[in-house]
Amino acid sequence: MLNPFFQMEPKEQGILWINRNIKLLVLQSVVTQFCFGMLLVVWQPYMLGLGTTFTQLGTIQAVITIFTGVGSLAWGRLSDRYGRKPVHIASMLARMIGILFIYTSSNWTGFLGFGIFIGLSASWSQTNPVTTTIISESVKEEKMNTAISLYSSVGTLIAVIASPLGGYLAAEDSHYLIFISCIVGELVNSLVSQLFLTETLDNEEAKESGFDLRKLLIPERVILPFYLMSILTMFSWRVAFSNLNAILVDSYGLTTVQLGLMSSAFSISWGLTQTPIGVIIDRYPKRQFLVISRIGFLVIVLIYIFFDSFHFFLLAQIVNGVAHSFGIPAFTSMILTRVDKSERATVLAKLSTLPQIVSVPAPIIGGYFYERYGFKILLINRVIFLVISILVILFWISSAEEK
């Protein structure tokens, strides 16, 4: 008897615009990014306003990191075994529970519940391994980057509106409206997925994907440099930028409205460049685009080191958006073309989990050193790690391995 989760329909692998899964996921991205676009710029200042210290904020970030790793690994393996659809829904429900915690809590210990479930959702950003796998399996391989980019860009552009709106609501002490919208949005997305999302993994592929603890714990040799690059990038980012919004308020006096505008600048940049860059990436070797993205990340750090005005911070966010447009689809497609289909979600989850585990102390380290030495010491760390990651790409990752 077929597993009830595997109610598959013929894959619509033609034009992206008529693919039901892609349309559904894009619409879900619109809802999620509108709600969480408001939340993203205000939750750190909100917690600071209730007496949370930078060290405690770093601890909450560390909790998010730990449980994101746990969630990614668990959801990735479960989706390879039992199907993409139920795991996709479960991750959205976990995120909804996380928002319930921040809505009902008034101190940092209560906010730990927010960190646990937001982490477990493994979908704080748009790079959830299960969602990415659904997208890649819903289209032909040569359209993979275009599909991933389309999904990311539409939701990101919605955040252009949502981020300043979130900053405005926070300035008016109306945080509860943001929290309620996130809860309702994820509940609606979960119900819609249950009703309309088409499973992309069939029973035979699932049966072949048995449980092997060693596979979950040991990195695949063919993608070892990708693990190292991910660790270097994530650890240094979490040290330098995991508390960025709080730092910009504390050190530079930015308002939540300005934070919203910065988030909008990032969203506009990423949203407008993601799809055209994705089309370009589909046509050429991917390694060069990874290098471009890391150079973009270096430019961002240099802006924060040498300038201290709001206008330059806006510029940094524009560069950040372009760097993401180059980096995420190139990285994802390079991984997916190097591993078997039955292992894709698991591998993407492991690539998220291992860096998350290594980066657990990073937000606490960042908060500690910021309180004692300031922001620039965190940025210098980021520069060193990014240079090493570029060397890894140039001298360890071969374009010849791309399919």
Q: Map tokens 């619109």 to a residue.
A: 30
Please determine, for residue 219, whether its predicted confidence score (pLDDT) is greater than 70.
yes
Amino acid of residue 117: F
| Number of other residues whose CB lies within 10 A of the CB of residue 400 | 6
pLDDT mean over 112-127: 78
- Lowest mean pLDDT of 157-161, 366-370, 388-392, name the range: 157-161
pLDDT, tens digit, for every residue of 136-182?
888 887 777 788 888 878 877 887 888 889 989 998 989 999 999 99
Contact residues for 361 (Cβ-Cβ < 8 A; gap 6+): 62
d(CA 373, CA 371): 6
Q: For residue 173, how far is the Cα from the chain centroid?
A: 28
> What's the chain's average pLDDT?
86
| Number of other residues whose CB lies within 10 A of the CB of residue 142 | 9
Residue 215 has a pLDDT of 66
Q: Map tokens 């910009």 to a residue.
A: 248
- Lowest mean pLDDT of 13-22, 40-49, 289-298, 328-337, name the range: 13-22
Please determine, for residue 208, whether its predicted confidence score (pLDDT) is greater than 80.
no
143, 275 Cβ separation under 8 angstroms: no
Please determine, for residue 395, whether its predicted confidence score (pLDDT) is greater than 80.
yes
Q: Map tokens 């993203």 to a residue.
A: 40
d(CA 337, CA 330): 11
122, 91 Cβ separation under 8 angstroms: yes
Tokens of 216: 């979950």
| Number of other residues whose CB lies within 10 A of the CB of residue 139 | 23
- Lowest mean pLDDT of 5-19, 50-64, 82-96, 100-114, name the range: 5-19
| Number of other residues whose CB lies within 10 A of the CB of residue 326 | 25
d(CA 330, CA 283): 11
Burial 221-239 (b: 16+ CB within 10 A, else e): eebeebbbbbbbbbbbbbb
Per-residue pLDDT band for 207 (boundaries 50, 70, 90) equals low
Per-residue pLDDT band for 123 (boundaries 50, 70, 90) equals low
Please determine, for residue 36, whether its predicted confidence score (pLDDT) is greater than 60.
yes
Sorted by where each begins, the domain ranges of the chain are: 20-199+215-401
CATH of domain 20-199+215-401: 1.20.1250.20
Question: Is the pLDDT higher at 68 or at 14?
Answer: 68
Please determine, for residue 240, whether its predicted confidence score (pLDDT) is greater than 80.
yes
Residue 313 has a pLDDT of 97
